[in-house]
């Protein structure tokens, strides 16, 4: 899982009611946060009508309010509990300024303590300082535009916010880190203008967009006007036509998006390996000639980066470094212009990844990215981009994007070794085996195993070699959707402490591949079985050590990273279902995190 927090939408026009447009857009942004939602609409009388609700916008009825200009927000709670008072938008004391926000204000306590002398606060959020700061700036004689700029500069951290002012009838947006995109639709000579944290919010209305970059604001009134916050100079933006199919994504015949996306892997692996050979070889040359390669990512993407260490060592006889993006700043002293930083991200908007890439750019290092979202912030700042082409991933727990990312990493390693054709053949064969593996009987078998262990509260996963990071990723999947405490370990590490936690009946998943580590990981399974563990073997062949066996195709050690992970994805799915959880939208999680 890659995390994105909070969805923002703004809508300005002179003909259409804003409420249904904002609600529809918030539903499309719900994957970014679904704790609560709210909107502010400017009424014909010049006042702000504000409606807030706790819960998912797709499942909760909101009172309709009239007006043609408005802003909306769907929340993933970071500061303050999930309550109506903490739901966005937040307003100033005069009730003239409404703000929706994505990010974390790192210095909000300092700002709030200063503001408490003259302002009344109603929420526990960091966001509420923004309208009060703007209010003070206007009181000091600054225009709304300058007040927004001055306020934005006072905020520490990666933030984006959108302001609606009742008197000026303007929407102004500020960006420093978190994404914001403007959409423009012309109808009968009049314009409808959207601003959102993701183009999916309005792409059903228009595919003509302008990008708001860091350290910029946009003023929306009749037309969008962009300004540099440091020079105050106006910026001319090019109107870009987005050539992406964003047809509504449905579950089809599947009960949940997660199950559908697991099954999508029959096709997505082939899409992932359909890369431009010339670009692969060019990047491979860059890797081979570099002075240090760092793979960075967060959450599930970090586990793919960890896997890259094994993949490049095994295939290309090359050392690469894995560093969690959130820790990358500690390694900046090793960065040179000849260093390569390879970022892996499903969304391309993860805050810690963007912060790490900012460091890399400051050091003059080149950036390569492996992403799923083409028009993402990571894509835009990269020197080279590999799109995994997995299509939209709606479930919070990443499945098809993960295996596609691993496939591209494997391709790059083969390109570095001068054996790209061999890598292509291996992955095409692997995709065919995955297609055969994902059938109804296979899923039913895994469901039957899940029924035997779903009431357990602790679970362990072990693997060796490339299956060690896959054990870590397996633990993430199980925890995300079933809320079972799960931990992954290298097979050899379990007896150095964690084996003390094994009790009679504790499920231990063992990831096995037919390679030199096979006998060792089986030996580890026998060790924990002797302490009472129930062994779930994920392997090409059955073994007497297994209490339950999930068969996988017999592939190379490197390919086993993909074929061993997919059954764990299915197991996690069924564990979550049996425990009565919403597997598409787990509690406290959202699809990708645009805050550190």
Distance (Å, rounded) from C-alpha 344 to C-alpha 296?
6
Range of the domain at 172: 7-241
Per-residue tokens: 211:
């990008």
Summarize pLDDT for 144-167 with one digit per residue, the tens.
999 999 999 999 988 999 999 999
Pairing mode of beta strands 534-539, 507-511:
parallel
Do 150 and 178 have their domain in common? yes
296 and 232, same domain (yes or no): no
Same domain, 253 and 160: no
Q: Summarize pLDDT for 206-244 with one digit per residue, the tens.
A: 989 999 999 999 999 989 999 999 999 999 998 988 876
Cis peptide before 89 (omega within 30 of 0): yes
Q: Is residue 105 part of a domain?
A: yes
User: Residues 367, 454: one domain?
Assistant: no
User: Among residues 378, 408, 437, which one ends one of the domains?
Assistant: 437
Considering the domain architecture, whether residues 474 and 577 belong to the same structural domain is answered as yes
SS3 sequence of 466-493: CHHHHHHHHHHHHHHHHCCEEEEEEHHH
Whether residue 596 is contained in a domain is answered as no
Residues 169 and 23 in one domain: yes
Q: How far apart are CA 557 and CA 513, in angstroms?
A: 6
Q: List the CATH number of the domain containing 145.
A: 3.60.20.10
Share of the chain above pLDDT 90, in %: 75
473 and 451 within one domain: yes
Number of domains in the chain: 3
Please indicate, yes or no, if residue 283 is contained in any of the structural domains.
yes
User: 549: alpha, beta or left, given left = phi > 0 and alpha = psi -120 to 50?
Assistant: beta
Q: What is the mean pLDDT of the chain?
A: 91
Query: Looking at 225, 241, 257, which one is the last position of a domain?
Result: 241
Catalytically active residues are 6, 591
Higher pLDDT, 374 or 67: 67
* pLDDT range class, residue 593, cuts 50, 70, 90: low
Q: Would residue 301 count as lying in a domain? A: yes
- Judge if 36 and 181 occupy the same domain: yes
Do 511 and 371 share a domain, yes or no? no
Q: Clarify whether residues 493 and 412 are in a common domain.
A: no
Nearest to 128 by CA among 165, 166, 80: 80
Q: How many CB atoms lie within 10 A of CB 376?
A: 24
429 with 528, same domain?
A: no
Residue 436 CA to residue 308 CA, distance in Å, equals 26
The reported pTM is: 0.77
What CATH number is given to the structural domain containing 518? Answer: 3.40.50.10490
Q: Alpha-carbon distance 543 to 557, whole Å?
A: 18
Q: Is 392 strand, coil or helix?
A: coil
Residue that is last in its domain, among 420, 437, 454: 437
Cβ atoms < 10 Å from Cβ of 575: 29
């Amino acid at each position: 899982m890659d995390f994105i927090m909070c969805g923002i939408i703004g809508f300005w026009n002179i003909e259409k009611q804003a409420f249904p447009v904002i609600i529809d857009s918030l539903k499309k942004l719900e994957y970014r946060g679904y704790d609560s939602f709210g909107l502010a609409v400017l009424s014909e009388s010049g006042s702000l009508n504000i409606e807030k609700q706790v819960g998912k916008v797709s499942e909760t009825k909101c009172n309709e309010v009239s007006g043609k200009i408005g802003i909306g927000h769907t929340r993933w709670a970071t500061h303050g509990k999930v309550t109506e008072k903490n739901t966005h938008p937040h307003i100033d004391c005069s009730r003239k300024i409404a703000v929706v926000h994505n990010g974390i204000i790192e210095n909000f306590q300092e700002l709030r303590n200063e503001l408490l002398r003259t302002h009344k606060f109603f929420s526990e959020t960091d966001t509420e300082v923004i309208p009060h700061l703007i209010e003070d700036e206007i009181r000091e004689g600054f225009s709304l535009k300058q007040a927004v700029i001055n306020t934005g500069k006072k905020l520490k951290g990666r933030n984006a916010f959108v302001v609606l002012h009742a008197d000026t009838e303007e929407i102004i947006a500020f960006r420093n880190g978190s994404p914001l995109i403007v959409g423009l639709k012309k109808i009968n000579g009049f314009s409808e203008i959207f601003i959102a944290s993701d183009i999916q919010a309005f792409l059903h209305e228009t595919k003509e967009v302008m990008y708001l970059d860091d350290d910029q604001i946009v003023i929306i009134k009749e037309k969008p006007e962009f300004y540099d916050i440091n020079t105050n100079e106006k910026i001319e933006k090019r109107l870009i036509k987005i050539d992406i199919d964003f047809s509504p994504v449905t579950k089809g015949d599947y009960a949940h998006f997660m199950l559908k996306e697991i099954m999508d892997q029959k096709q997505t692996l082939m899409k992932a390996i359909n890369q431009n050979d010339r670009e692969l070889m060019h990047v491979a040359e860059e890797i081979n000639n570099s002075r240090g390669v760092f793979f960075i990512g967060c959450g599930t993407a970090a586990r793919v980066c960890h896997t890259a260490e094994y993949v490049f060592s095994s295939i290309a006889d090359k050392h690469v470094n894995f560093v969690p993006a959130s820790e990358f700043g500690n390694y900046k002293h090793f960065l040179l212009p000849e260093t390569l930083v390879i970022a892996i991200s499903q969304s391309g908007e993860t805050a810690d990844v963007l912060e790490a890439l900012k460091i890399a750019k400051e050091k003059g290092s080149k950036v390569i990215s492996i992403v799923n979202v083409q028009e993402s912030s990571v894509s835009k700042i990269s020197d080279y981009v590999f799109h995994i082409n997995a299509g939209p991933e709606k479930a919070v727990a990443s499945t098809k994007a993960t295996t596609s990312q691993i496939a591209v990493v494997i391709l790059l390693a083969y390109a570095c070794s001068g054996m790209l054709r061999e890598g292509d053949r291996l992955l095409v064969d692997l995709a065919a085996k995955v297609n055969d593996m994902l059938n109804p009987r296979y899923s039913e078998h895994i469901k039957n195993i899940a029924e035997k262990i779903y009431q357990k509260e602790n679970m362990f996963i072990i693997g060796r070699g490339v299956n060690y990071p896959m054990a870590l990723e397996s633990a993430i999947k199980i925890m995300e959707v079933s809320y079972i405490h799960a931990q992954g370990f290298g097979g050899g590490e379990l007896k150095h402490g964690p084996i003390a936690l094994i009790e009679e009946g504790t499920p231990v998943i063992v990831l096995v591949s037919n390679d030199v580590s096979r006998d060792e990981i089986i030996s580890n399974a026998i060790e924990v079985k002797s302490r009472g563990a129930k062994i779930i073997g994920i392997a090409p062949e059955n073994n007497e050590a297994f209490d339950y066996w999930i068969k996988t195709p017999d592939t190379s050690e490197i390919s086993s990273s993909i074929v061993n992970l997919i059954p764990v994805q299915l197991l996690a799915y069924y564990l979550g279902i049996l425990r009565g959880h919403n597997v598409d939208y787990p509690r406290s999680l959202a699809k990708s995190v645009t805050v550190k």
